[in-house]
Amino acid sequence: MDPNEKHKNIENNERKADFLQSAEALQAKYEVEHGQTVDVGSLEDYKEWSDKL
């Protein structure tokens, strides 16, 4: 692996780790773990929408 590519991979992994510890990610994790999620549509809605793309 090219040293520059390895460095990019390390930076990307660090950014992912930083995001996973962010306030937004921790809040989303809490909401999922405590059943505080909301359905915004059905799979059929998604299929209809994606067919239009």
Nearest of 18, 1, 25 to residue 9 by alpha carbon: 1
**Rounded to two decimals, what is the model's pTM?**
0.47
**Per-residue model confidence (pLDDT) at position 27:** 95
**Per-residue model confidence (pLDDT) at position 10:** 64
Q: Tokens for 24?
A: 């937004």
Domain extent at residue 46: 3-51
Q: Measured between alpha carbons, how far is 29 from 20 in angstroms, rounded to an integer?
A: 9
- Give how many domains the chain has, as a whole number: 1
pLDDT digits (tens, 9 = 90+) for 1-53: 666 676 677 677 777 778 888 999 999 999 999 999 988 889 999 999 999 99
Amino acid sitting at position 50: S
Residue with tokens 């520059």: 4
